[in-house]
Amino acid sequence: MKIIIFGASGGTGLQLIEQALESGHEVTAFVRNVNKIGVQNERLHIVQGDVLDADRVKQVLKDQEAVLCALGAPAKDKSGLRAKGTKNIIDAMNAAGIKRLVCLGSLGYGDTYEKLPLLFKWIIVPFILRQAFLDHEAQEKMIKESRLDWIIARPGNLTDGPKTGQYIHGTDVMDKKIKIKISRADVAGFMLRQLTDNMYLHKTPGLSY
């Protein structure tokens, strides 16, 4: 497929690039700083731009078939980058007639918050991740209200471990005994499978070891 990755220079984004190329996809990496992409491949197109620039996002989405969104921001960032950028992506997808959107979220907000361990619920989320979670929630709301064929992957804490293919996934993941962590490589592998798999269409599957 011809796919575009937003947030391509982040840890999960780089994994998405590498694994998408290994799978034979034609990949466009949309980044603010092209120097952060150290991969070279004839099927990789690196495009400089800002996801907050709506016109630029519309321009780069032409001729794409699917979108992978791995936008991220520092924990205490108050810019609302995920939500604002995702709005531009959704608007551009509607204009271009693109339906499939696979987005990177996180465990712990929405209907999974109450099932978090106490350390996360009472310390990590309110004091460290509050801004990030507000941004994630606004982003999810926009996606769910869209008419796109969307899937939001909600992983636990991201690590730099290897791709194992051995992890729990599903909409009831928080009902199981989980470690609340998973490698970026495994998350990328899961997200790429959602490009053509409808098992979690219009759902928010959790991911964790």
Residue-wise pLDDT tens digits, 44-66: 999 999 999 999 999 999 999 99
The H or E element spanning position 143 is helix 130-145
CA atoms within 13 A on the CB side of 115: 18
Provide the CATH number for the domain around residue 10.
Answer: 3.40.50.720
Residue 187 has pLDDT above 80, yes or no: yes
| 36 pLDDT tier (thresholds 50, 70, 90) | very high
The reported pLDDT for the residue numbered 51 is 97
Phi/psi of residue 139, nearest 5 degrees: -65, -45
The mean-pLDDT minimum among 81-95, 115-129, 138-152 falls in 115-129
Give the pLDDT band of residue 78 (cuts 50, 70, 90). Answer: low
Both tokens of residue 122?
């009472």
In this predicted structure, which of 7-21, 24-38, 97-111, 146-160 has the lowest mean pLDDT?
Answer: 97-111
> Is it the case that residue 129 has pLDDT exceeding 70?
no
- Whole-number mean pLDDT of the chain? 90
The domain containing residue 95 runs over which residues? 2-208
- Section 27-33 average pLDDT: 97
Burial class (CB in 10 A: 0-12, 13-18, 19+), 196: exposed
205, amino acid identity:
P
Is pLDDT above 90 for 107? no
Cα-flanking dihedrals φ and ψ of residue 5, to 5°? -115, 120
Q: Which residues in 88-205 belong to E strands, given as ranges? A: 100-104, 149-155, 157-159, 168-170, 181-183
How many domains in the chain? 1
